[in-house]
Amino acid sequence: MTRSAIRLVMLSMFLAAPFAVPPVAPALAAGGGGDPPPSATPPPPDTRPAPAGRSTQKPKKKPSKQSSVEEPGFAAGYRAAHATIYDRNDYAAAIAQLKALGHDDHASVANLIGYSYRKLGDYRLSQIWYERALKANPNHVLTWQYYGLWQIEQGNREGAQYHLSRIAAICGTGCDEYRSLAAALEKPPGTGLVY
């Protein structure tokens, strides 16, 4: 009786085996590739010895000295610099606040630094920061607007017209940035801008 029971168990295992294994091979053979299915087991760890002079451990990431733009501290610092610019018109202090955030490569930060330099009359540094903002985000509409106003202040109405066309391509002709730059372009050359 035990032999027949063992045979029965073996036969049932043999018949059930094709249904117990997920069909991974056909998907890969058909070009499916990609990530293994969640039910697949991970490969065993590499237990080979490391070559001489090399560590088997992955290098640890150094903690960033800069804050992340998602952190509340960054947002609070950015808002404070924004208020320093638009409420108190203290552009030099705002530049210091913005640079202290540690995110000069963020389009909004670089744009406000450029704006502050423009308001201080340093057009060379202003241009550098506007271009840095556009390098970080070529669709940063406010930078295109402020850089367009920079162009007008430099007497380059053609350049400002190009900036206006970039704004139109990004957000259309109904957005505030487009209307503001278009209004500045409509003024006769030499008219003082209040932007």
* Shared-domain flag, residues 122 and 79: yes
What percentage of the chain exceeds 90 in pLDDT?
57
- 23 in a structural domain: no
* Shared-domain flag, residues 73 and 107: yes
**What does the pLDDT look like over 50-103, one tens digit per residue?**
555 555 554 444 444 444 667 878 999 999 999 999 999 999 999 999 999 999
pLDDT for residue 73: 86
* Shared-domain flag, residues 134 and 176: no
Alpha-helix residue ranges (DSSP H) falling in the chain: 2-20, 24-29, 72-86, 91-100, 107-119, 123-136, 141-153, 157-171, 176-186
* Residue found by looking up tokens 């940035």 in the block: 177
Indicate the pLDDT class of residue 49, thresholds 50, 70 and 90: low
| Distance between CA atoms of residues 195 and 114, nearest Å | 13
* Shared-domain flag, residues 76 and 114: yes
133: Cβ contacts below 8 Å, ≥ 6 apart: 107, 108, 109, 110, 111, 114, 140, 143
Selection from 160, 180, 158 nearest residue 171 by Cα = 180
139: Cβ contacts below 8 Å, ≥ 6 apart: 170
**What does the pLDDT look like over 92-115, one tens digit per residue?**
999 999 999 999 899 999 999 999
* Shared-domain flag, residues 107 and 124: yes
Structure tokens at 44: 């065993």
Tell whether the model's pLDDT for residue 47 goes beyond 70. Answer: no
156: Cβ contacts below 8 Å, ≥ 6 apart: none
Q: Read off the pLDDT of each residue in 137-165 and give the average, rounded to a whole number.
A: 96
- 183 in a structural domain: yes
- Asked whether the beta carbons of 147 and 179 are under 8 A apart, the reply is no
21-30, 128-137, 174-183, 186-195: the lowest-pLDDT one:
21-30
Query: What's the domain range around 118?
Result: 69-138
Would you say the pTM of this structure is higher than 0.85? no
Tell whether the model's pLDDT for residue 10 goes beyond 60. Answer: no
| Sequence-separated contacts (24+) of 52-57 with Cβ below 8 Å | none
* Shared-domain flag, residues 82 and 130: yes
* Shared-domain flag, residues 112 and 157: no
Taking CA atoms, 128 is separated from 115, 123, 136, 143, in Å, by: 11, 9, 12, 12
Q: How many domains does the chain have?
A: 2
- 35 in a structural domain: no
CA atoms within 13 A on the CB side of 59: 4
Tell whether the model's pLDDT for residue 190 goes beyond 80. Answer: no
* Shared-domain flag, residues 91 and 110: yes
- 161 in a structural domain: yes
CATH number at residue 98: 1.25.40.10
* Shared-domain flag, residues 83 and 131: yes
Tell whether the model's pLDDT for residue 151 goes beyond 90. Answer: yes
* Shared-domain flag, residues 78 and 115: yes
- 152 in a structural domain: yes
* Shared-domain flag, residues 98 and 84: yes
